[in-house]
Amino acid sequence: MDQSPAALAVSLENFERDVVERSRTTPVLIDFWATWCAPCKTLGPVLDKVVAENAGRVVLAKIDIDRTPELAEAFGIQSVPTVILMKAGRPVDGFMGALPELQVKKFLEKHLGPAPTDVVADAKKLDEAGRRDDATKLLKEHLRVQHGDAKARFLLAKLLIDAGKLEEARLVEAKFSDEERASDEGKALTQRFEFASKKSALDGLAAKLELAPDDLALQLEFGKSLVAAGEHERGLNVLWRVAERDLRFENGAPRKALVEVFEVLGFEHPLVVEFQRRLSILLCP
């Protein structure tokens, strides 16, 4: 059985440091195995998977009993596979044999508790189901405990902007570091704030366009305001017509406007995929 790249390579020399001492801060799951052991080959990948799912909460160490018989003897290993859980510098629990994945998970849960849920994914599902208030509530409760979860904070700010709660969203945005603001997510959030600020001007822009229907700069502002108001397809079509008419207008302003919308909506959005395709064709010489 190959050594898992995520598992600690344990020897007599590093056992005290990498297993005993490490277990004082993070539980260490020790897999005693042998190359000739068929059940070991079944259990090994299961342990790799379960430990990977609990990354940061438990560490996996694998000990080949033929290479380090002294450690096997010290733990009184009678057969393989045998798994021992170390916490606070001492063994606290274990099992023998190739248990199925569900049982290995239950074994770890006794000591680690259930694996934490993906709050960001759960909040996105709530928002997609039309339960935006529940999504923002979930994120706020999570952030009261996990203050440094930037992904959750970005999503909370985004949902507040989409709900028209700009002042509250600004309070959330104020807690980002300069590095977070400079990230791709930070730049997209800035664009979303700018688009949201255009939403209130939508009616005024429509009235101006009636008086100056050929004003391309006005059309670009109107298109972006439509997107900000949630009329994504209509807004993109307005921007697209300007791009078709004069792609080089004001140093490429139509292309820049489309890209801004792509960043706000996300590059996986179906409309973005379609208009990206159109833009790439238009840009081809």
Taking the alpha carbons at both ends of the chain, their separation in whole angstroms is 56
Q: How far is CA 120 from CA 7, 159, 209, 262, 270, in A?
A: 28, 12, 40, 21, 21
Output the pLDDT for position 278: 94
Q: Which residues pair with 85 in a beta bridge?
A: 29, 93
Of 1, 10, 40, 243, the active-site residue reads: 40
Taking alpha carbons only, the member of 70, 37, 59 closest to residue 111 is 59
The list of the chain residues with pLDDT below 70 reads: 1-6, 115-116, 198-200, 285
Would you say 39 and 90 are in contact if contact means Cβ atoms under 8 Å apart?
no
Of 37, 61, 138, 236, the active-site residue reads: 37
In angstroms, the CA 21 to CA 15 distance is 9
Output the pLDDT for position 144: 87
CA atoms within 13 A on the CB side of 23: 21
The domains of the chain, with CATH numbers, are: 8-112 (3.40.30.10), 119-195 (1.25.40.10), 200-283 (1.25.40.10)
pTM: 0.47
Taking alpha carbons only, the member of 264, 207, 215 closest to residue 235 is 264
Q: Which residues pair with 245 in a beta bridge?
A: none
Torsion of CA 73, 77, 82, 88, to 10 degrees: -60
Would you say 283 and 248 are in contact if contact means Cβ atoms under 8 Å apart?
no
Cβ neighbors of 180 (< 8 A, separation 6 or more) are 150, 154, 186
Output the pLDDT for position 115: 66
Q: Give pLDDT tens digits for 124-151.
A: 999 999 999 999 999 999 888 778 889 9
Would you say 226 and 234 are in contact if contact means Cβ atoms under 8 Å apart?
yes
Within 10 angstroms of residue 199's Cβ, the number of other Cβ atoms is 17
* 284: annotated active-site residue: no
In angstroms, the CA 28 to CA 137 distance is 35
Output the pLDDT for position 98: 96
